[in-house]
Amino acid sequence: MMSYTENSKRVFLNTGTKFPQPVVWAVAVVKLAAARANQELGVLDKETAEAIQRAATELMEGIHAEDVVVDVFQTGSGTGINMNVNEVLAKRAGEILNRKVHPNDHVNMSQSSNDVVPTAIRIAAVKESVLRLLPSLQTIINSLQAISSKTYETVKSGRTHLRDALPVTLGQEMEAYARAFERDMKMVTQAVEDVRFLPLGGTAVGTGMNAPQGFQQTVIRKINEVTGLDFKQADSNFMRMRLLTDMVNLSGVLRGTALDLYRLSQDLRLMFSGPFTGLNEIDIPSQEEVAGSSIMPGKTNPITVESCLQASVQVMGLDHAVQLAGMLGEFELSMGIPLTGYDVVTEIDILSEALTKMAKVVIDNIVPNEEKMKKYAESSPSLITVISPRIGYDKASKIGKQLAKGMSIREALKELGYSDKEIDEILDLKKLVRGGYAVK
């Protein structure tokens, strides 16, 4: 008789899209915890339970991972991944005991794919968020705060609509992104809290039929013993099996984080443009480690920044797929469970890598071109508005005409008869970035 996994190859899609390791790990955690719970509740003998636990532990460690072969694009409940793991563990447990262990009767005891896979994808999402995403967010926050502190007095031209505006400092711009990622970190933390509720024990439709009394409380406790991630019994099995809204919400927060990373990357890419025909406001020496062009020797490109731009786009695209996957299903069960698990975990992994690389490779290596920034700030036509109350409307108008001819404000003021000391006072850029009235 052919196994479920072998048969499924004919009817599932064969795209080569396999479940990421965190999802396989999470299914193995469920099987280990269920074996312990079933043994404790007296419905599974100790010998079989321990063999299943040993097999599950091996799978968690990456052993037998090559045997988890089902495609992500399969039955909407995720029965494929559940049965694939059941069969892998049953085979290994049978080898340990030198007798048959059944994938359904023993490994899947007190469970259904309908509560196993919704539980596993939540475990994987929480684990990856806590162990990878939140630390990577803290890393980029630390990097942004450090460069903000270092460059808080480094004045540069502000820009709105990509046109010259009033001065700001590089530190102020970096602080904005540090605050944005702090907000993202809070929102991820809040979203993860709602994903901690697990419906394992609800079995096929949420009623708990075919699970022994006390199984749900016991198995959640066992999951926490294994993971240490403080999961909770579902507030409603019916809701957590029927709807993946908590996962969709987490994905939405990931999309927002990716958007902030995209905006940061865009700004850095523009500031790094040049060196002679762009802004050239910053240098990023780390971007010189790989040749920028296969035909133009010596060319340096913002390679890590552009990698992060593409990663951000991918996360936002996956989020849209999660929104649609969350809509799949009718009545008692969602039908987008495998895709939701795959996409959310993939989003987390991509975003974690991008945030860390942006922090360590790019932000930590930024070298401001302070003279170039100062020159741009002093050349901004917006300064005319600020200094007009000091020098008068007519003189300010003359300066405007001189600027149009390519003269700097400093040169124009000197031509109007102001001394270097007076010009320094008028063009005190550090006053202009603090708000209020700059000149009187």
Query: Is the CB of residue 142 less than 8 Å from the CB of residue 160?
Result: no
Among this protein's residues, is 320 annotated catalytic?
Answer: no
Query: Is the CB of residue 107 less than 8 Å from the CB of residue 96?
Result: no
List CB contacts of 210: < 8 A, sequence separation 6 or more: 110, 112, 203, 204
Element (H, E) at 81: helix 79-97
Among this protein's residues, is 293 annotated catalytic?
Answer: yes
Nearest in space to 69 (alpha carbons), one of 85, 57, 56: 85
Query: Is the CB of residue 418 less than 8 Å from the CB of residue 389?
Result: no
For 161, 276, 360, the CA distances from 354, given in Å and listed in that order, are 27, 29, 10
Choose, from 149, 236, 293, 419, the residue flagged as catalytic.
293
Q: What is the DSSP letter of 232?
A: E
Query: Is the CB of residue 213 less than 8 Å from the CB of residue 206?
Result: no
Rounded to whole angstroms, how far apart are CA atoms 60 and 35?
A: 15
Which residue type, as a one-letter code, is found at position 193? Answer: E
If you count them, how many residues does the chain have?
Answer: 440
The residues assigned a catalytic role are 161, 293
